[in-house]
């Protein structure tokens, strides 16, 4: 029971972090589900559930879906005997959605993965808040010290160990230098988190008090929202990169690093790299600085969508079908969504009743949302009388263009005409 109470605290921290993420970080699918009041489980999310039944081969957990989710097979085997013995019917647990729907239509869950994900959420929160952590040295290797933070194994490189501790590390081998330090307390700060590579890097030097707080307060007082500064990348995490400006770290959220889709900041940035950043927010009370790199770059999506307008008819290729609608490629890699309510005048249960992937369809643009990079399309409004004037003007413009092309073509020589 104690482990789940601890997880509850980590879950609250996760919620706090998610609330601070910008809206455009949410997927289009999530926004549509919220607008329709649908709370279907999504693969990769963590939910709080209640154990409905326990058997030797599976655990059923109610998560607010149509039916209970299942913890079975490898996901059940991942739990130790002690962990399984601690579970009971009616107990609240956190579960990770492995699959929203398997071949039998069941929701597949994992308790172990939820625990791990929440541990990573916890260290990401500590990185975001630049928390100083008190822990104990549990091991070593040739490159530095091993410590544990929130159940995860972390590494303190030799270059990030304090000068006073390094001065005591004498000897020719790692064992001679570090073995006697096992069990000693150590104060560290997280400088890099990469859950995909299970990489957690810490620094004892960064956790030393010195005058970091006073420097940060001074820099925050001097910074101005909207201005551009030169900084240096100090640490990377799944959710973004920290850039130091004049002695204070600011966060460049993952969504503010590049206009292109990236999964991790390390795809375009590296620690120590010098970058230009724009200050987009300052929370002087919490002493947080929000930065952007992409706002100093041209938005390619805006250039692609500039030629299109609401009400325009476009020829598109259906690329993907979902329960809530269909995605269609308008031009190049520019896509829009046909919500299921915009597919047919008659009520349908799934887009596949009308469309299939690869179909070439004439669609009407009914919405363009530049900030969210979203285009709304409609199949049922293609012949709508509400757009008659626009369609006539578009047709006249096309005819005028054809006429001008014909008039610009060179006429045949007189001798050819006479013959």
pLDDT digits (tens, 9 = 90+) for 75-112: 888 888 888 899 999 999 999 999 888 778 789 999 99
State the DSSP string of 278-326. EEEEEETTTTEEEEESGGGS--HHHHHHTT--TT-EEEEEEEEEETTEE
What pLDDT score does 409 carry? Answer: 61
Report the candidate in 219, 277, 221, 285 with the shortest Cα–Cα distance to residue 246. Answer: 219
Of 73-87, 234-248, 341-355, 391-405, give the lowest mean pLDDT range. Answer: 391-405
**Rounded to 5 degrees, what are φ and ψ at 69?**
-85, 165
**309 and 259, same structural domain?**
no
Q: Are residues 87 and 149 in the same domain?
A: no
Q: Which helix (H) or strand (E) holds 252?
A: strand 248-253
* pLDDT score at 402: 67
Instruction: Please tell me whether residues 7 and 113 are part of one structural domain.
Output: yes
pLDDT at site 173: 87
Q: Is 416 contained in some domain?
A: no
Question: Are 10 and 115 contained in the same domain?
Answer: yes
Q: Do 220 and 258 lie in a common domain?
A: yes
220 lies in the same domain as 181: no
Computed over every residue of the chain, the mean pLDDT equals 83
Count CB neighbours of 35 within 10 A. 10
pLDDT computed for residue 42 by the predictor: 85
3-state secondary structure of 53: strand
In the structure, what pLDDT confidence band is assigned to residue 286 with cuts at 50, 70 and 90?
A: confident
Q: What token pair was written down for 115?
A: 């625990």
**Tokens (6 digits) for 127:** 């990185």
Domain housing 100:
2-119
Specify which of 10-14, 133-137, 257-261, 405-409 reaches the highest per-range mean pLDDT.
133-137
Closest among 120, 121, 115 to 75, alpha carbons compared:
115
Mark whether 289 and 328 lie in a shared domain. no
64 pLDDT band (50/70/90 cuts)? Answer: confident
* CA–CA distance, 311 with 163 (Å, rounded to integer): 66
Rounded Cα gap, residues 239 and 242, in angstroms: 10
Same domain, 171 and 192: yes
Say if 141 falls within a structural domain: yes
Task: Specify if 184 maps to a domain.
Answer: yes
Residue 393 in domain: yes
For residue 123, the SS3 value is helix
Which of the pair, 14 or 268, is modelled with greater confidence?
A: 268
Question: Are 354 and 362 a contacting pair, CB within 8 Å?
Answer: no
Whether 272 maps to a domain, the answer reads: yes
Which of 50-64, 209-223, 392-406: highest mean pLDDT? 50-64
Asked whether residue 411 is assigned to any structural domain, the reply reads no
Band of the pLDDT at 271, cuts 50, 70, 90?
Answer: confident
Tell me the Ramachandran region of residue 240: left when phi exceeds 0, alpha when psi lies from -120 to 50, beta otherwise. left
Residue 272, Ramachandran bin (φ over 0: left; ψ between -120 and 50: alpha; else beta): left
* Domains identified in the chain, total number: 4
- Residue 353: count of CB within 10 angstroms of its CB: 13
pLDDT per residue over 111-155, tens digit each? 999 999 999 999 999 999 989 999 999 999 999 999 999 889 999
**Is 33 in the same domain as 104?**
yes
Taking the C-alpha atoms of residue 275 and residue 342, their distance in angstroms, rounded to an integer, is 44
- 139 and 103 in a single domain? The answer is no
Tokens at 362, concatenated: 């004439």
Please check whether residues 223 and 182 belong to one and the same domain. Answer: no
pLDDT score of 369 more than 80: yes
Last residue of a domain, one of 174, 207, 240: 207
Q: What is the pLDDT of residue 8?
A: 45
* pLDDT above 90 as % of the chain: 49
In a domain, 410, yes or no: no
- Domain harbouring 323, CATH code: 2.40.50.140
Exposure on the CB side of residue 84, measured as CA atoms within 13 A = 18
- Among 207, 228, 249, identify where a domain stops: 207
User: Are 282 and 174 members of one domain?
Assistant: no
């Amino acid at each position: 029971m104690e482990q789940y109470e601890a997880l509850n605290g980590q879950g609250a921290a996760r919620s706090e972090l998610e609330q601070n993420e910008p809206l455009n970080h949410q997927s289009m699918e999530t926004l549509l589900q919220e607008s329709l009041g649908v709370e279907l489980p999504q693969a990769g999310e963590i939910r709080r559930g209640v154990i409905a039944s326990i058997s030797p081969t599976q655990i059923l957990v109610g998560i607010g879906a149509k039916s209970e989710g299942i913890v079975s097979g490898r996901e059940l085997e991942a739990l130790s005997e002690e962990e399984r013995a601690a579970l009971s019917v009616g107990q609240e647990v956190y579960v990770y959605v492995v699959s929203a729907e398997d071949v039998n239509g069941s929701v597949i869950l994992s308790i172990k993965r939820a625990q791990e994900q929440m541990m990573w959420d916890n260290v990401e929160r500590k990185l975001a808040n630049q928390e100083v952590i008190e822990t104990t040295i549990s091991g070593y290797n040739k490159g530095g010290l091993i410590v544990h933070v929130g159940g995860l194994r972390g590494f303190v490189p030799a270059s990030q160990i304090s000068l006073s501790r390094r001065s005591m590390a004498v000897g020719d081998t790692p064992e001679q230098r570090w073995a006697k330090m096992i069990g000693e307390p150590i104060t560290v700060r997280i400088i890099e988190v990469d859950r995909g590579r299970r990489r957690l890097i810490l620094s004892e030097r960064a956790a030393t008090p010195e005058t970091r707080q006073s420097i940060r307060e001074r820099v925050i007082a001097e910074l101005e929202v909207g201005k551009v500064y030169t900084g240096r990348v100090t640490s990377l995490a799944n959710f973004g990169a920290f850039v130091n400006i004049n002695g204070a770290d600011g966060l460049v959220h993952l969504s503010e690093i590049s206009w292109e889709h990236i999964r991790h900041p390390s795809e375009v940035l590296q620690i120590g790299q010098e970058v230009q950043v724009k200050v987009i927010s300052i929370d002087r009370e919490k002493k947080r600085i929000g930065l952007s790199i992409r706002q100093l770059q041209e938005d390619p999506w805006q250039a692609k969508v500039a030629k299109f307008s609401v009400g325009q008819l476009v020829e598109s290729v259906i690329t993907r079908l979902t329960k809530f609608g269909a995605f269609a490629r308008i031009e190049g890699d520019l896509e829009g969504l046909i919500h299921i309510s915009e597919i047919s005048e008659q009520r349908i249960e799934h887009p596949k009743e009308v469309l299939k992937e690869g179909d070439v369809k004439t669609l009407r643009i009914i919405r363009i949302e530049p900030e969210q990079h979203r285009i709304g399309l409609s199949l049922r409004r293609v012949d709508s009388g509400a757009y008659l004037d626009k369609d006539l003007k578009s047709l006249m413009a096309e005819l005028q263009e054809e006429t001008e092309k014909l008039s610009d073509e060179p006429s045949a020589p007189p001798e050819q005409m006479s013959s």
